[in-house]
Chains A and B, each alone.
Chain A
Amino acid sequence: MLSVKKLYTEYPNDRGEVVKAAQDISFEVPEGKLFTLLGPSGCGKTTTLRSIAGLERPKSGEITVAGTAVYSSDKNIFIQPNKRNFGMVFQSYAIWPHMNVFQNTSFPLDVGSRKFSKKEIEERVMRVLTTVGLDEFAGREATKMSGGQQQRLALARALVMEPKLLLLDEPLSNLDAKLRERMRFELKRMQRELGLTTLYVTHDQSEALALSHEIAVMSAGHIVQIGSPRDIYERPSNKFVADFVGLTNFLDAMVEAPEANNSGYRVNSTIGQLSVTSFDRLGKGDSVLISVRPEDVELTEQRPDGPNVIEGKVDFKVFLGEYLDYQIKVGEHQVLARAHTSVKVAVGTTVYLRMNPEKCITIQNNL
């Protein structure tokens, strides 16, 4: 449906230096799927989105939507944003303060190249306002709306033109935490029900994990990994992804030997001998990085049976409501463990860490 090929964008900054905003960006979004560009600020995700929208003109590459090129440096095509028929929700929502809810929503129908009758416009606007649950506010001043309502209004305005593609630029980042979580569910429900091909940009990893069919993690202008939310979280392909998406413990290690019974390896890490899982072929003596998520580190006061049990001492603990974070000291190293609140271990006591070998992932240490 949406296909981006070798997109390259650069622009001069204030001092005239060339900033490479997006380099060699390629991805495909199938019909009806929600695709997320995830990355820290300045990674080029917004530039990529704006290039797809047509608000910025890339230096080279090709963008096609449903088989039609909207941008192609080879064929010298650049379709103006107002002719692309994409819906877009901006980070600030960009609700026009001089129009009421109805006028904001009907604007795309008023100015578009397709002409609608007055009755048609009213029907379409009311239908989309009903979809987002704003039908009773149609006559209200747009500026009198709450943050969540403005967000839904911006969505309604993007949907009313029945766009080929929906672009969302950090649409939830201006909401408070509670509302953000609610809107996350609503957004997901609406996208799945309408089956609209959607491109979503965010720096919030939990949002990306919750909403997406597929995620592209970006760093410094490059896509570093594309995969399903589960892939990205459980099988990060490099240190950047593992670090950016969720919390993790990194342990330096040296490969000792392949495990006999499964695809894993036995390694000698900074906190002791571990049995780990690897998606790459490793040889004896290779130096690797092990990633273990804090929630995969089990804490017990009695030494449990099984592999990957390490002895440590509770250094510090933080109560966070739903769970407890423990800093465990193993020799000279700190390991973060996340435990259910029912686990109660006093600071200073000796504990045992157990890590499921399937959850100890080796990653390449090249980024």
Chain B
Amino acid sequence: METVGQIRVPPVSKLAAWRRINLQWMIVGICVAMVAYLALMPLGFLIWQSFFTPQTATKAAKFTLDNYATAYTSVETLRLLGSSLHFAVGSASGAFVIGTALAWMNERTNTPFKSVFFALSIVPLIIPGILFTIAWILLGSPKIGILNLLLQNWFSTDYVFFNVYSMWGMIWVDALGSSPLAFLLMTAAFRSMDPSLEESAMMSGASIPQIAWRITLKLTWPAIFGTLLILFVLALEAFEVPALLGLPVGIQVFTSAIYQAIHQYPSKIGLASSYAVTLLLITTVGIYFQSRLSSQGSKYSTVTGKGFRPRALDLGKWRYLTAAIFIVYFALIVVLPFLVLIWSSLQKFYSVPSMAALQNLTFDNYKFMLNYPTLARSVGNSAMLAFGSATIIMLVTSVICWIVVKTKMPGRWALDNLASLPLVFPGLVLGLAIMVFYLNFDIGVYGTIWILLIAYVTRFLPYGLRANTTSMLQIHKELEESAAMSGASWGSTFWRILLPLLKPGLLAGWIYIMIVSIRELGTSILLYSPGTEVISIMIWELWENGQYVELSALGVMFIIALFVLVMVAQLVGKKYGVKEA
């Protein structure tokens, strides 16, 4: 289709045509320029900064290799790399094993109540990482952890059963935290597999382990490897767990090291940048292989589009065991953390559940939090940022997607990659890059809420792109062409045909970005300033102040509010979603 590539103007309607083309190119131009600016500027400056000394009032920035020299000649860095990889590999494999086992049980066995379980699988995604980590500190800390104290009480010993303040504790909490994602990814992989492939193996006389090993595993191999890579990159990028569990006992990974380099006096932005560039290199390699894998996936493509579900494996009596595993898992990931937050939110001072403590239940913390001076502002900031970034992202990426999917514009693959580029940025690194950029280029956004909006839009741009690409691909090009034949201009086609048809995808992506924006901590923590706090920052500050019980009250309200938001959003989505053609 060359309607986009070249447009010649007939002399008769010169002015009108010029205006129309202008609108189309203006919107396309603004979107492309915005994406390019957001994706490239911070990255460029991060790399630039890593080669310079920090600029101060008395000294100008000078070129230096010292940052890298410091970063790469010390044994410390080797240890940092070692512990980062240890943490990331451990967390990724842990989450993968949990998620895959659950996905298999859910998709391929006759475990009772599995549909209920699948519906519940969205709940853990709602709990913000920082609250999940804090809840697990309250559960598994050697001194105050409820699990330890209860078990010590029962067995009358001083033995520490769980210690979350350790590498294995960090891996445990982070793996649990990302296991729902592994579950969803592997569920999708199992679902997209044509069951007849397994059935024909069975008809050929293969046993169940043989089928699992030689057919199922081999066919899901790209999905397995892709999932592992995503989990690995996510664990490398994780900030909450290493900062809250690792730093107090001196275990550093890249993200927490970057945070410490900035939050010491004088702050070592150059060193932080060189750590950040290193981390960025690793995540880039991970994301690159992951995208290669998913684009190669068509070779392994096993999607048949047929609606039938595979025959569920009859587990016999074992199905009660698998059901029990589901329940235990759900307890570990949602019920226990949430209950411990509720419990601590009702206490005057943090204490272990006991009859005595039951007497002291109080709602004072809730009253305290609701009267907290910065609460209203933080909630307002979070809501405005979430709403703003989700709306901007979905609209901009719908145009970007249209260019990538529907036109033959030269260089559109570059645009796709550009908009996906922020994927490689760990939240903290993106925060650092944006901080460095706007410190050097003072256009008046540093220290305001706009810098957070810019950061959120940049960070979650790829999510919007994915959500829109999926639905854009499903829109038959004749739906657009028939609008053109009906006399509609590009603008009215986009507004009246494409956007309404994209609505389900737009809405889903919009809700998702709202949720991840509200939960966001790693980027915000480097960019907020008094007056622009968001809720997750408030929780972080309360934790630093040791106000655990007040924090718990805020956390409980936060989780309930997020849950209500998701439920309402789903209802709205169902009501206003477009019926399938």
Contact = CB atoms under 8 A, between A and B. Distances in A.
Interface string A132-153: 0000000001010000000000
B581 A97 contact: yes
A88 B579 contact: no
Interface residues of B, number: 32
A27 interface: no
A193 B141 CA distance: 85
Interface string A92-135: 11111110000000011001110000000000000000000000
A106 to B, nearest CB: 10
B478 A82 contact: no
A209 B1 CA distance: 31
Interface in A62-104: 76-88, 90-98
B3 interface: yes
B497 to A, nearest CB: 6
Contact of B8 (A78, A87, A107): A78
A158 B485 contact: yes
Given A77-B8, A82-B493, A92-B476, 16 more contacts: A55-B3, A56-B1, A57-B2, A78-B10, A82-B483, A88-B482, A95-B581, A96-B483, A96-B497, A96-B501, A97-B578, A107-B488, A108-B487, A112-B487, A143-B580, A161-B487
B202 to A, nearest CB: 36
A289 interface: no
B7 A111 contact: no
Interface string B491-514: 011001100110100000000000
Contact of A98 (B1, B485, B486, B500): B500
A108 B484 contact: no
A14 to B, nearest CB: 12
A53 B484 CA distance: 10
Contact of B7 (A55, A77, A80, A113): A80
Given A55-B1, A143-B580, A108 B486 contact: yes
Interface in A33-74: 53-57
Contact of A88 (B17, B485, B581): B485
B7 A82 contact: no
B496 A111 contact: yes
Contacts of B302: none
Instruction: Count chain A CB atoms within 10 A of each CB in B13, B481, B497 and give the residue with the most.
Output: B481
4 pairs of A and B residues whose beta carbons are closest in the complex: A108-B486, A94-B478, A97-B581, A112-B487
Given A57-B2, A113-B487, A98 B578 contact: yes
Contact of B487 (A78, A94, A111): A111
Contacts of A329: none
Given A55-B1, A78-B10, A86 B485 contact: yes
Nearest to A114: B487
Interface in B1-57: 1-3, 6-8, 10, 13, 17
Given A80-B17, A91-B478, A97 B3 contact: no
Nearest to B501: A98
B481 A82 contact: no
23 contacts: A54-B3, A55-B3, A55-B485, A56-B1, A56-B2, A76-B8, A77-B10, A78-B10, A81-B485, A82-B484, A82-B485, A88-B482, A90-B478, A90-B481, A93-B478, A94-B481, A96-B501, A98-B500, A111-B483, A112-B486, A112-B487, A143-B581, A161-B487
Interface of B: 1-3, 6-8, 10, 13, 17, 476, 478-479, 481-489, 492-493, 496-497, 500-501, 503, 578-581
B486 A111 contact: yes
A180 B492 CA distance: 34
Given A54-B3, A78-B8, A98-B500, A111 B579 contact: no
Contacts of B500: 96, 98
A313 interface: no
A157 interface: yes
A167 B482 CA distance: 11
Contact of B488 (A54, A56, A111, A143): A111
A55 B478 CA distance: 10
Contacts of B17: 80, 83
Contacts of A85: 487
Contacts of B485: 53, 55, 81-82, 84, 86-88, 158, 167
Interface string A149-178: 000001001100100000100000000000
A220 B501 CA distance: 36
Contacts of B8: 76-78
A113 B581 CA distance: 29
A53 B476 CA distance: 18
